[in-house]
Every structure is written in C-alpha cells, then in structure tokens.
C-alpha cells in the first residue's frame, strides 16, 4: 500500500533498487545506500514471508515474482530505492516489462538525475520526485559540518523533464531544521516550471538523525505561504509507519 504522497492508501507493489548517492538525515532505508549481494522477494501478497535470492535478479524473474503477488490487482507498481535512476537501464527494462499489465508505473526518485530520467520518462506513468533541501541532505561523502549549495537548479531541470510524464508531483520533507525560504524558493520554481504539479509537504517521521517532528503550526503556516505561490499544496504525513512497515 502506498504510504505517502497524493496517492496514499492506493494498492502498490514495490520494487526496490539498491544504491543511493544522497544522505538524508531521516532516511528510512539506509540499507539501500550500497548494493547488496542478496535481496528479498515476498512470496505471497501481504503475507510478510520472503525468499532470499542473489543479486542481480533477472528482469524476467522480477516480473514473475510480481505476477505471483497479484500484479494486475494493484493500482501502482512503484520502482523505488535507494535511487532507482542510478540504474536507468534497469528502470527502463522494468517499466517496459510491467507496463500494460494493470498497474500504473510509479517512479520514486530523489529528483536529481536529469539525464537518467530523460532515458526513461516516456515509459513511466507517474514521477514522484523529492525536492531535497540543503538543511537536511548531503551527497554521499560530503561533510555535515560544511555548508553546501542548495539543490534548486538541479531539481528545476529535473522537473522540466519529469513534466513530460502523464503525472508528476513533488514532495518536500519538512523537519525542525527546514528553513522557510528553502521551501518557498522550491514552490516558486515549481510554479514556473510545472505549475499544475501537486506539492506535498511531508512532516518528517523521526528516525536516523532527526529526533522530532516540526511543530504543527509551523507546517500549516508553511503550507499557507506555499499556497500563495502554487494552487495545489497538501500536507500529507507518512502513513506506512502506522502499519509497522519501514
């Protein structure tokens, strides 16, 4: 089940690819930062039982596993990570193999790999892109102590390509360290690049290096300020932790 964004609650089959080139303070899947020798495949839809296979898993085997998990009954199949666009050839192959079998192809990405997105955007139905903020995100290997430039230019270029997909939305994780101007600058750039996109402000789920959520009043004030720039701004927390899903 989709646990975040405007399609929260929709039945979703997840395919998680390994490796990520960012380090977010709140990351809920740090095990994906590096490629793994093995992976887990659920054996029955919703059963919570898994089999372990060596990586890499052939595309045909992934499709067969998806069929066993009632692929056609889902609203979406989400290709996520890690960062899936570090492996654009795999994303393209998966999308081509799964498209037309029932669910829409949902690509979840950190929103920075512009050239990789251009290779696959015609094969996906929905691009769910993060807009990372320098207050809480670093590239792998960067120091947390040093200031870094913002990601706005890269995200805007990415969104320009993502807007070619049938649907795109932008998610910003809001933490106590988030600066208002970071969010409002993102909103301004979304408004001029893809003004019909939904902007989701997601109060952080405390984990990793983030110990608490931002105050509710601050999140609502931030949403109100963003609504003066964009027509569709929503505050949607993660729901999958409620069900005990990482």
User: pLDDT of 84-101, one tens digit each?
Assistant: 999 999 999 999 999 999
Query: Mean pLDDT score of the chain, rounded to an integer?
Result: 94
Q: At what angle do helices 152-162 and 180-193 cross, to 10 degrees?
A: 30
Alpha carbons 175 and 213: distance in angstroms, whole number: 6
What predicted TM-score, i.e. pTM, was given to this entire model? 0.95
**Which of the four pLDDT bands, split at 50, 70 and 90, describes residue 122?**
very high
Show me where the domains of the chain are located.
Answer: 12-237
Check residue 163 and report its DSSP letter: T
Query: For 188-228, how does the pLDDT look when each residue is reduced to its tens digit (9 = 90+)?
Result: 999 999 999 999 999 999 988 898 999 999 999 999 999 99
Q: Are 4 and 29 in contact (CB under 8 A)?
A: no
Q: At what angle do helices 216-227 and 180-193 cross, to 10 degrees?
A: 30
Superfamily for 12-237?
Aldolase class I (3.20.20.70)
């Amino acid at each position: 089940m989709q646990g975040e964004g405007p399609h929260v609650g929709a039945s979703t089959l997840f395919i998680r690819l390994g490796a990520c080139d960012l380090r977010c303070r709140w990351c809920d899947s740090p095990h994906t930062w590096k490629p793994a020798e093995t992976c887990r495949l659920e054996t029955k839809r919703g059963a919570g039982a898994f089999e372990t296979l060596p990586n890499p898993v052939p595309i045909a085997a992934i499709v067969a596993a998806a069929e066993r998990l009632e692929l056609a009954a889902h609203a979406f199949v989400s290709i996520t990570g890690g960062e899936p666009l570090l492996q654009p050839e795999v994303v393209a192959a998966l999308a081509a193999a799964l498209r037309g079998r029932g669910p829409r192809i949902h690509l979840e990405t950190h929103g920075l790999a512009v050239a990789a997105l251009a290779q696959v955007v015609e094969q996906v139905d929905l691009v769910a892109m993060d807009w990372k903020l320098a207050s809480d995100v670093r590239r792998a290997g960067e120091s947390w102590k040093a200031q870094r430039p913002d990601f706005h230019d890269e995200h805007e270029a990415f969104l320009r390509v993502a807007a070619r997909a049938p649907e795109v939305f932008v998610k910003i994780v809001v933490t106590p360290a988030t600066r208002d101007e970071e969010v409002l600058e993102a909103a301004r750039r979304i408004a001029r690049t893809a003004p019909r996109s939904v902007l989701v402000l997601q109060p952080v789920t405390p984990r990793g290096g983030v110990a608490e959520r931002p105050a509710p009043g601050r999140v609502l004030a931030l949403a109100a300020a963003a609504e003066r720039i964009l027509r569709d701004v929503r505050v949607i927390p993660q729901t999958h932790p409620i069900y005990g899903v990482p």
